[in-house]
Amino acid sequence: MKSAVIDIGNSRIKILSEEHGFAVIPINETGGDWLDELQQFVGKHTFPSSWAISSVNPNAETVVIDMLMGYSSIITSSEYILDNQTLVDIRQVNGAGSDRIFGLIGALEYTKPPLITVDCGTAITINYLDGGSVFQGGAILPGISTQLKALHHFTGQLPLLHPEYEDVAYGNTTVQAMTVGAVWGAVGAIKEITSRIKTSAGNPTIPIVFTGGEHPLVVSAFEDSEPILSPHLVAEGILLAYKSLEPENSTDSE
């Protein structure tokens, strides 16, 4: 049976189906439009009755599961998948979000370990999988949009901005200066942290796999290291891990 997964983030829901491909639905938790859009998408396609689901957004997760159960769906949780998959060893890290782990699993579709993933979303997460496929940990920092929202929220005069790429060393307006600071501050942090991981591992050629909605704002700064790009990395990882459990995933679920 063809499989389908849902990855519920803080700002977007991503659906990946072997039969229907990929779809993204923005989340607005103050209204029901996103749920209507999701229900229409699921309703107009023939999906399997079994779904794998991963979420970092408990409120949206509850609503999505209730909706899917209306289609007599069987929901396999990320906890069950992660507890039973053998693609990566996650025992060295405590409390890591499922999105970080599934991103590492998804990266296995593109390169062999050791590898680093950089997920540029609401938060930027940097994650290191060593040569033995052991998740060693990483770093978490505010995403670019999150930084700009914080500047607006915690100051009296700075505007609320949507991030855009700025290929300049400094800004000559407040808006440009904020954008330069957020984008290139993120680039600097990613470069420093990934460099320190490579130095610690004694391997300067560890590949970096970029994902997340804001990765196009930073990835050009890494062209010299030939970055790997995968906009749907977490969903791909859920699907890969889920399918690795076959035939279990046809009978065991939560």
- 251 pLDDT band, cuts 50/70/90, is very low
- For residue range 158-182, list pLDDT tens digits in order: 999 999 998 999 999 999 999 999 9
The contacts of residue 82 (CB under 8 Å, 6+ apart) are 90, 98, 101, 241
Q: Which among 40, 1, 49, 2 is positioned nearest to 21, based on CA atoms? A: 2
Angle at 229 between CA 54 and CA 119, to 5 degrees: 45
Among 29-33, 40-44, 64-68, the minimum mean pLDDT is found in 29-33
If DSSP codes are grouped into helix, strand and coil, which group holds residue 245? coil
pLDDT, position 1: 57
pLDDT, position 39: 85
Question: Region 43-56: what's the mean pLDDT?
Answer: 76
Query: Average pLDDT, whole number, for the chain?
Result: 89
Active site residues: 99
Strand order in the sheet with 115-120: 135-142, 123-129, 115-120, 208-211, 228-229
pLDDT, position 51: 85
The contacts of residue 21 (CB under 8 Å, 6+ apart) are none
**What b/e string do you get for 214-247 counting C-beta neighbours within 10 Å, with b at 16 or more?**
bbebbbebbeeeebbebbbbbbbbbbbbbeebee
Q: Provide Rg for the chain, Cα atoms.
A: 19
pLDDT at 141 over 50: yes
- For residue range 189-215, list pLDDT tens digits in order: 999 999 999 999 999 999 999 999 999
Q: Is the omega angle on the peptide bond into residue 142 within 30 degrees of 0, that is, cis?
A: no
- The dihedral over CA atoms of 131, 90, 118, 229, expressed in degrees to the nearest 10, equals 70
pLDDT, position 67: 87
pLDDT at 250 over 50: no
pTM above 0.85, yes or no: yes
